[in-house]
């Protein structure tokens, strides 16, 4: 098992990528600190892990709040003794996020608070814990739109994910010689509740799908497998990377026939 004896803190663990990653990491031997605002589904993920013989704990966490992030890391250390992997995965994509004219300041601020500040706060409190553990891996969820403009305008989301890439690179450089690796996971368009709520018409879905060479939306479990690579020693010489898992969308120049 690739994460035997490790403890992973995973934000946004109640659904989507976070849920699938929590289940996969647990199956690979990790202790899981599942963090989310959604207590019901978050607890359900923990109960599923425990029922399968794993070790997990849920902590209700608003990643935009420093006190919550500090408590999240403390709970992981108290429950499992150390933190070796931090997956800053929690994020939002608001349906009222559009172009510069359409997007309100409130939506901009909310998106930045969760998607960008949330990653900063996770690292702020998580890095000292990983250092205490002797090193480990941080994975920050970005997006393909951080390097490729979105066909459907979502300016606040796109800008927040661009910030995640920039922050990840700098943290990777700063902490490389402390045995702390920091990488970005950049999913392409996924068949998750988050994106399907945003692409709420068939026309919006097709506008996105036509640009994906593979011709389909990705799956949350595919992102979990990519996160496992970044979390494990399989990626021991990988840091500061923008790991694109996107069905080829960022490589496409013309729409495939």
Looking at residue 95, which CATH number applies to its domain? 3.40.50.720
Would 91 be classed as within a structural domain? yes
Q: Using CA atoms, how far apart are residues 207 and 216, in angstroms rounded to an integer?
A: 12
Q: Using CA atoms, how far apart are residues 82 and 106, in angstroms rounded to an integer?
A: 37
pLDDT at 203: 84
Beta bridge partners of 58: 34
Q: Using CA atoms, how far apart are residues 6 and 93, in angstroms rounded to an integer?
A: 31
Name the packing angle between helices 220-231 and 16-27 (round to 10°): 50
Residue 36, CA distances (Å) to 12, 43, 113, 188, 245 in order: 5, 9, 15, 22, 24
Would 175 be classed as within a structural domain? yes
Contact 225, 25 (CB under 8 A): no
Domain count, the chain: 1
Cα first-last separation, the chain: 42
pLDDT at 44: 98
pTM, whole model, 2 decimals? 0.95
pLDDT at 112: 98
Contact 9, 87 (CB under 8 A): yes
pLDDT at 95: 87
Would 194 be classed as within a structural domain? yes
Q: Are strands 7-11 and 242-245 parallel, antiparallel or unpaired?
A: unpaired
Would residue 157 show up in a list of annotated catalytic residues for this protein? yes
Q: What is the DSSP letter of 216?
A: S
E-assigned strand segments in 194-246: 242-245
Helix (H) or strand (E) holding 182: strand 180-187
Would 247 be classed as within a structural domain? no
Kindly give the confidence (pLDDT) of every residue in the chain, 257 residues in length, as a single tens digit, with 9 standing for 90 and above.
999 999 999 999 999 999 999 999 999 999 999 999 999 999 999 999 999 999 999 999 999 999 999 999 999 999 999 999 999 999 999 989 999 999 999 999 999 999 999 999 999 999 999 999 999 999 999 999 999 988 788 999 999 999 999 999 999 999 999 999 999 999 998 988 877 887 888 888 888 788 889 989 999 999 999 999 999 999 999 999 999 999 999 998 755 45
pLDDT at 150: 80
Q: Using CA atoms, how far apart are residues 237 and 91, in angstroms rounded to an integer?
A: 27
pLDDT at 255: 54
Would 221 be classed as within a structural domain? yes
Would 251 be classed as within a structural domain? no
pLDDT at 89: 98
Would 130 be classed as within a structural domain? yes
Would 157 be classed as within a structural domain? yes
Supply the range of the domain harboring residue 113.
7-235
Backbone angles phi, psi at 252, to 5 degrees: -85, 130
Contact 85, 231 (CB under 8 A): yes
pLDDT at 199: 80
Spell out the alpha helix ranges (H) of 57-192.
66-80, 105-112, 118-132, 155-175
pLDDT at 254: 55
Q: Using CA atoms, how far apart are residues 22 and 32, in angstroms rounded to an integer?
A: 7
Active-site position among 157, 198, 217, 243: 157
Radius of gyration over every alpha carbon of the chain, rounded to an integer in angstroms: 17
Q: Are strands 31-36 and 7-11 parallel, antiparallel or unpaired?
A: parallel
């Amino acid at each position: 098992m690739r994460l035997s004896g490790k403890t992973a803190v995973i934000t946004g663990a109640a659904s989507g990528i976070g849920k699938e990653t929590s289940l996969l990491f647990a199956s690979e031997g990790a202790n899981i600190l599942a963090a989310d605002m959604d207590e019901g589904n978050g607890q359900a993920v923990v109960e599923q892990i425990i029922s399968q013989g794993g070790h997990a704990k849920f902590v209700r966490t608003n990643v935009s709040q420093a006190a919550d992030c500090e408590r999240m890391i403390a709970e992981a250390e108290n429950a499992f003794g150390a933190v070796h992997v931090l997956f800053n995965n929690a994020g939002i994509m608001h349906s009222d996020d559009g172009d510069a004219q359409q997007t309100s300041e409130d939506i901009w601020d909310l998106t930045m608070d969760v998607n960008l500040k949330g990653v900063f706060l996770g690292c702020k409190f998580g890095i000292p814990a990983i250092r205490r553990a002797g090193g480990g891996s941080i994975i920050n969820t970005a997006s393909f739109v951080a390097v490729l403009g979105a066909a459907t305008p979502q300016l606040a989301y796109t800008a927040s994910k661009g910030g995640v890439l920039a922050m990840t690179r700098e943290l990777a450089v700063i902490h490389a010689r402390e045995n702390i690796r920091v990488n970005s996971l950049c999913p392409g368009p996924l068949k998750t509740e988050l994106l399907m709520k945003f692409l709420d018409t068939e026309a919006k879905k097709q506008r996105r799908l036509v640009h994906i060479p593979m011709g389909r939306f990705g799956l949350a479990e595919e992102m979990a497998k990519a996160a496992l690579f970044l979390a494990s020693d399989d990626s021991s010489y990988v840091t500061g990377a923008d790991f694109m898992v996107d069905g080829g969308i960022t490589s496409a120049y013309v729409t495939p026939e």
